[in-house]
Structure 1
Amino acid sequence: MKIFWRYDDNGKIILERWKIKRLLEQEFKTNENNRSELLREKRKNILTIADRTEVISFILSIVESFPPIIKKFPNGKELTKEDLEEEVLKGLNSYFSNDFLSTLKSQKLQLFKDPIDKCCLPFLGKVVVTTMDTIEEIEYKNFESTFWDKQIIKKEYCKIEYKENDAVFYKFCYKICNNDTKRLSSLMTLLGYLMHTYKDPSKAFAVIFTDQEISDNDEAQGGVGKSILGRALSYVRRVSYFDGRNQRVKDINAFSGFERYTEIYLMEDMNKNFNFDSMIQVITGILPLKKLWENVDNISFKESGKFCMTCNYIPTGSGGYSEERRQEYFEVGNYFGKNKTPLSEFGHRLFDEWDDEEWNKFYAFMIECVQLYLRHGIISAKKINVVAKQIIQRTNLDFYNYFHPRFTEGQKVWDKESELKNFVKLYPDYRRISARQFTSWIFQYLRLNNIDYTQEPADLRKRIIIL
């Protein structure tokens, strides 16, 4: 019997805090990083965050396990289960206050991270450990580490062999890759990278899913399937969301929606004015989580998750190698859009209307993505319109339509004054543009395309010579 009380000389029950503390510590610990947060191991190697209500329920369940009459005294009095329960309920604010609970022994919260050569996916009942060549199923009681309950995939794993033409999500990915197997391999390695929680400082970058098409106006395309990729990841890893349309990265509470146990930070619909420079520090270093009325919780690089962004536009920034190496673009093809949706294509809503067999095919494909990544690393997709869209955003579509065809035809010498006159003749709306502005657009085009050039003559710089 778990005794957490004593009797005074008159036989009255007195609950003893130190005994309650020892009893609770068999089931609960405080988070070493946040003593107000309680941890509980509900099942072997699966941790959960507990609250005061669970603590009280735990004590009351112990009381409930006692016999109806707990003790008989020589004077004929009895201590009943109801008497003990009454004392517990009367002392809730005293014996189970947040201040008291914060005195429980602490435990260092160490979220499980994949090793460099394995990806461990925690399904219901078992962990699926994937290497580049093997798939092994391990029961939690035999696993060497601990998971958060919020990391657990709420599906049972069933290993199957699937035919590519029969798997809906495979077909979806193939179509947004323009039916190109090389681009599909690239997409698969990016998904594999995001699902593999091991973090390598040399591979600290954001995966950016963007529209392939160039819009002929200031409206973005959208609806091509980027959000479906993000949703797919959420069925494998713990995802936190950032609303790029309404939130700003520079706000002090910018990442308040993120959590310590987040594995993928999905920043959706980043707007046209989003500056990527503001993200480099959190991608490569410490991620500060600041929630309203709380202190900043700094998450180290190895403990934090990976970043994935979706955007219709290309993020702006200072440019250069330091920025480029922190970005991995994938341009989503325009198979889907306003006139053709996944619903009209497949006849059902992806994820929402799948049976167990389709889910098994989905997980088989996602594990295949992990294996392809572990085997080859990131296979970068050939850029289609990323550079063109960067140029258009920094200049405009009219300039791009004027300059790009002439450059691709091999023109090597560009007289600044003549080109400006020709441009204004074709596009009269720009008759007030300055020579300096027009020349800066040319330089933007050349820089973003990594084209070397010089200017002649050295003193007047009237002409641009492509080297």
Structure 2
Amino acid sequence: MDKLAQCLSNILKDLQGKDKHFQKLDFWNGNKIVVSKLKKFLEVNGFRTLKISQLSKVVKVTYNVVEVFTPQDVFNYCLKYVEAENSDFESIFLEHGEKYLMTKKALLGSLKPIELKPYKNDISTSRYFYNNCVVEVTANEIKTIPYKDFQKRKQYIFKETIINRPYKILDEINPDVDNFKKSSTNSDYKEFLNLATNSDEHFNSVCSSKGYLLHDFKNPANAKAVIITDVLSQATNEPNGRSGKGLIIKSFSEFTNVVEYNGKNLDLKRDKFVYQSIDHSTRLFVIQDVGKSFDFEDLFSQITDKMDVQRKHTQKMIIEFADSPKIAITTNYTIPQNTDSFTDRKHLVILNNHFNANRKPEKELGKLLFLQWNESEYLAFDNFMMQCIQFYLKNGLLSYEDPELKRQNLISNTSKLFVELIESDYFNNEYYSLKELASKLEINSNENSVKSKIAKNWLKTYVSYMNIKIDFRTSGGFEQFCFS
């Protein structure tokens, strides 16, 4: 029995006390398949039609759990019933069943549509479906509910959303920003994030980002791509890998369907098949390792609007905004656009470079994350991740400005000599000559007016980065400045 089947079996036992494979209803008469009875057999056993992103699919509904079936899957399901109930009819079904279930589309297309509504998280509640219970997360509480209670909602979930491990609550926490790091459940993964961040503020920012991506409700007023990178890469615009970005992405795949795409040579304008692996169950789309030439603007419509999924040799599928996956990007380069349009659509997650090619998480933590965990270690991880969702629902998406990166960016936009001069000689609450400052700088121009203009622009950049004020005045025909 595969993992998903085992999950469903556990849920069915919770719902009805036993796992029934078939509702008996023979669909043959002598040596002939009776089409009307075959249709009835399928419907009695939960087969329905369901429109998914403008495409009609055949699904099997077992209580509130929906599984997508291909025509071949339906044929195999019926064959198992024949083998169990009338093995003499098996050869006849093998010869003629294909015509009704695979070659012709009329029978499967005529099945009743599903009666249930799809389950969707709302803006304030997130639910995850484990193999023993449903975990319900709000800003104020994390609780478990049995599937029997969830069934009363008359909503369906897809089979792929079920997490094949048990859950129970280990700790009641306070998700306030002042104590989240201290109160959240200890786990190997929490320690990894602790080492990959510089402070409580930094830790909280990363955890809020994880909560944002795990909570699959899409708010059109807060639709962002999460960009995951590291300090050195952002400071130098050169690769400094092995900082832990891969483990950030791996953590999401433990809960939901993540589709990854290699972004090293990605051109979103030319590659129309970028999203072809995305389907109804995809909750997170990750573009890995985008390069220097990546144009973030090409993602704007996918972040804030419907998603066009073009597959080779098939009809284009349009996924509505509310049903489309959230987007994350990993990169070892800067994404320099800083206009309001870009700021509104991106959220930066920056890891420090505690981990690198020589200092790996498995050495620091004494084990491979995920691969060498037992059930109790997974349970601690699950509790911590649910707490990240609660933290996000309580506090929103928190930004973090790394001091080291801030200084490096300031130097990149001015010069190292300029920053050192300003911080050593020009903070005495008095006015200084702009021309004199410009003469001390290594500016590639022989024109004093050009040098002064560049120095003045750098001063404006400096006060903008440092969030301080500056006053310019003209005295004796010369321009002066003073920090206030």
Question: How do 1:35-54 and structure 2 match up within 5 A?
Answer: 35=55, 37-41=57-61, 43-54=62-73
Q: Which residue of 1 aligns with 2:384?
A: 365
Cα offset for 1:422? 2.7
Instruction: State the one-letter code of the partner of 2:187.
Output: A
Q: Which residue of 2 aligns with 1:343?
A: 362
Match of 2:212 among 172, 185, 193: 193
Question: How do 1:402-421 and structure 2 match up within 5 A?
Answer: 402-406=417-421
State yes or no: 1:96 paired with 2:111: no
SS in 1 for 2:403: coil
Cα offset for 1:349? 0.5
State yes or no: 1:212 paired with 2:222: no
Match of 2:341 among 318, 322, 325: 322
State yes or no: 1:279 paired with 2:279: no
Q: Which residue of 1 aligns with 2:168?
A: 158
Higher alpha-carbon deviation: 221-230 or 208-217:
208-217
Kept in 2: contact 1:133–1:371 (CA 8 A):
yes
Shift in alpha-carbon separation, 1:98–1:303, aligned structure 2, 3 A: farther
SS in 2 for 1:256: coil
Q: Which residue of 1 aligns with 2:124?
A: 117
Distance 1:96 1:416 in 2: 86
SS in 2 for 1:90: helix
Kept in 1: contact 2:243–2:355 (CA 8 A):
yes
Higher alpha-carbon deviation: 212-221 or 251-260:
212-221
Q: Deviations over 1:44-84 (max 9, x none)?
A: 322111122321222223323436xxxxxxxxxxxxx51x2
Q: Which residue of 1 aligns with 2:90?
A: 85
SS in 2 for 1:157: coil
Q: Which residue of 2 aligns with 1:4?
A: 27
SS in 2 for 1:213: helix
State yes or no: 1:105 paired with 2:112: yes
Q: Deviations over 1:153-204 (max 9, x none)?
A: 12111322498795211111111112x1121122111111111112211111
Question: How do 1:237-252 and structure 2 match up within 5 A?
Answer: 237-250=256-269, 251-252=271-272
Instruction: State the one-letter code of the partner of 2:27.
Output: F
Q: Which residue of 1 aligns with 2:159?
A: 149
Kept in 1: contact 2:234–2:333 (CA 8 A):
no
Kept in 1: contact 2:418–2:441 (CA 8 A):
no
Structure 1: state its 5+ residue gaps: 8-12, 68-80, 426-430
SS in 1 for 2:322: coil
Instruction: State the one-letter code of the partner of 1:167.
Output: S
Instruction: State the one-letter code of the partner of 1:158.
Output: K
State yes or no: 1:57 paired with 2:76: yes
* TM-score, with structure 1 as normaliser: 0.79
SS in 1 for 2:376: helix
Cα offset for 1:362? 0.6
Kept in 1: contact 2:434–2:455 (CA 8 A):
no
Distance 2:398 2:329 in 1: 18
Distance 1:216 1:32 in 2: 48
Distance 2:194 2:300 in 1: 31
Instruction: State the one-letter code of the partner of 2:159.
Output: D
Distance 1:455 1:244 in 2: 46
State yes or no: 1:167 paired with 2:182: no
Q: Deviations over 1:377-427 (max 9, x none)?
A: 1222134356667678xxxx59643554456665987669967983349xx
Q: Which residue of 2 aligns with 1:17?
A: 35
Kept in 2: contact 1:413–1:466 (CA 8 A):
no
Kept in 1: contact 2:266–2:294 (CA 8 A):
no
Instruction: State the one-letter code of the partner of 1:18.
Output: S
Shift in alpha-carbon separation, 1:60–1:268, aligned structure 2, 3 A: same
Higher alpha-carbon deviation: 411-420 or 218-227:
411-420
Distance 1:14 1:368 in 2: 58
Distance 2:409 2:156 in 1: 44
SS in 2 for 1:97: helix
Instruction: State the one-letter code of the partner of 1:16.
Output: V
Higher alpha-carbon deviation: 355-364 or 127-136:
127-136
Q: Which residue of 1 aligns with 2:443?
A: 423
Q: Which residue of 1 aligns with 2:273?
A: 253
Q: Would you tell me which structure has more helix in proportion to its own residues?
A: 2
Distance 1:298 1:214 in 2: 35
Q: Which residue of 2 aligns with 1:134?
A: 141
Kept in 2: contact 1:195–1:233 (CA 8 A):
yes
Shift in alpha-carbon separation, 1:24–1:399, aligned structure 2, 3 A: same
Cα offset for 1:272? 1.3
Distance 1:123 1:148 in 2: 13
SS in 2 for 1:122: strand
Distance 1:391 1:289 in 2: 40
Q: Which residue of 1 aligns with 2:375?
A: 356
Cα offset for 1:285? 0.7
Distance 1:36 1:164 in 2: 44
State yes or no: 1:303 paired with 2:323: yes
Distance 2:192 2:224 in 1: 25
Shift in alpha-carbon separation, 1:164–1:284, aligned structure 2, 3 A: closer
Instruction: State the one-letter code of the partner of 2:224.
Output: F
SS in 1 for 2:321: coil
Structure 2: state its 5+ residue gaps: 1-23, 173-182
State yes or no: 1:401 paired with 2:416: yes
SS in 1 for 2:189: helix
Cα offset for 1:121? 0.9
Cα offset for 1:446? 3.6
* TM-score, with structure 2 as normaliser: 0.77
Distance 1:304 1:109 in 2: 20
Kept in 2: contact 1:214–1:385 (CA 8 A):
no
Higher alpha-carbon deviation: 320-329 or 346-355:
320-329
Shift in alpha-carbon separation, 1:402–1:25, aligned structure 2, 3 A: farther
Instruction: State the one-letter code of the partner of 2:416.
Output: N
Cα offset for 1:110? 5.9
Higher alpha-carbon deviation: 357-366 or 262-271:
262-271
Instruction: State the one-letter code of the partner of 1:53.
Output: Q
CA RMSD of aligned residues (A): 3.7
Instruction: State the one-letter code of the partner of 1:14.
Output: K
Kept in 1: contact 2:47–2:59 (CA 8 A):
yes
Higher alpha-carbon deviation: 230-239 or 108-117:
108-117
